[in-house]
Structure 1
Amino acid sequence: MLYVTFVNTATGANLGVWSWNGIGPWAQVGFTAALAANESVRSVLAANTDLFAVTALITGTGDDTVTTHSLYYFDSTNFVDAGIQDAAIGLPNSVAYDGSNYWFTAGADILTGTTADAIDVDLTAPSAFFGGVTNLAPSAVCAFTTRDGTVYDYNASWSAASSVFENYRDTDYAFGLPAYVDYGTKQALLVPTRVYPRSSSDVSPAGGYLEFDAFGFNAATAEANENYDLVADAINFSISLDGLSVRSIVAFNNDTLFALTDGNGLWSDHFSAGSWSGWRRE
């Protein structure tokens, strides 16, 4: 089943979540309680066969505008309260499941819970502005990226932060939504770098992505693989994604990768017969 959010391009009105089974017509997915007048669906996220919907509620005007966020899970019929309602948190933009807990990144906040209907803010999380999270399956380790060029991991407890990763001009990267791929002989954590304005005088550089050997990954001691040979090779990387602002990388079935860039299209990389094809623009 495919789930997407739609917006009316003519009016800007949010049309909610719709599903498609690959055969019949699209069907709208409802909420058990009607959304508020100024509440709109921003995204759908999935982990551990569970589907979540993220909404934003905007109240006030001008300098008094306030945006809060809510999280709902799909109970196979409707979207139901997942435990986060009208919360003063960042927009939940990614989710992972470590075998016991769900983990969401939401700006400066981390959300977690053991079941889809009991998600709450993790008050033990490090102080950082997070870019995304991925689970290094089949382990219970989750890797979290930040907008400050660091990485954390959670494995029963929070790790210390990694060192700050920089480009060749010693400018700190900002990381987007990461991906993990295990293709049998190697395991790779791919961390996209993107142009991100941390302040008016601090804009992070574009560098494609950093890759890490994910076997036994420990953020506190992690070092990027400068050979870029885990899912491509150095030449392919240099003529494809190197120097681009990459918003996110997504892995499917441990043999297909997609990289979504800011303004330079969608790229893919495929594993077959023991090797990766290298990045190619779609």
Structure 2
Amino acid sequence: MGRGDVLDLGERRAAAAVARRYYLDGESKVDIATELGLSRFKVARLLDVAKETGIVRIEVVEPVEEQVLELAAQVRSRWGLRECRVVPDSDSPREDVGRAAADLLGRLVGPQDVLGMPWSRSVHAMVDSLTSLPRVPVVQLSGAMATNQVDSSTVAIVRRASRIAGGGRHVFFAPLVMPDEEAAAAVRRDPAVREALAAADTVTVAMVGVGAWAPGESTIYDAVDEAAREEVAAAGAVGEIAAVFFDEQGSLVETSVSRRVIALSGQQLVRIPTVLTSCHQLSRVPALVPALRGGLVNALVLTAEVAEELLAVP
């Protein structure tokens, strides 16, 4: 029974029953096999299936400072989050937060979910640390944006995640920002682009980046001309998630730049039940706070420094 096989309800129940006896009741594989009339090899296969399909999730809990756990609980309560993880401040915050985000994502995603990912430096850092996922499909939520800081495309990010999950993928090759609205409309008519963006409607868990509308804080900001930057700012936008702009209250903002991007729509974003983001830079807090106010994200991974800043917000 391989990862590519489709399990029927009876097989899933058998895997769950064997896993319950082995992991929760502490029975040996030999005893389980004898009592259920199975071979030991069959019991071992069912335990593997239980792990691969997400029926069983194994977690290794490293010692964590009590202060960090308390910070996470306070941020979760203050902002009404589904989940929050805080990592201690360190000399490598991007990598530490990426690892913690990968761990949290693996526990947020269940076998019935659909995972979505746009282009983002924080998503790239998280996928670099990703080691396991249930068998779910992965959907590309935006086109790619080349930078001189990160050598990765959205397609590469989604492909890596989908290889780990083994549940298929929806990908397309297109830039994130097009020169004008007509060019963007033409790209959206491409079948692969149209299919992937339509599949965004099925996404139940997304890992995203939150960018502030300022130089160096949003890749889109640096990719458009000054007139476009001024238009977005004049419309009240203070940040963006996958090229979806929002204002100080977290309300969606539509501009002509919105019609030039190849990405999911704002309405598709707000309909995703679980949206995870990470933050290790204080400079992103001015955009993160409105995103939290508007409920655009509801799961966070933060450094202790950023967590304390969020708790200080009136």
TM-score interval, smaller chain:
under 0.3
The two structures have a TM-score, normalised by structure 1, of: 0.25
**TM-score of the pair, normalised by structure 2:** 0.23
Higher strand share: 1
Higher gyration radius (CA): 2
Higher percent of residues as helix: 2
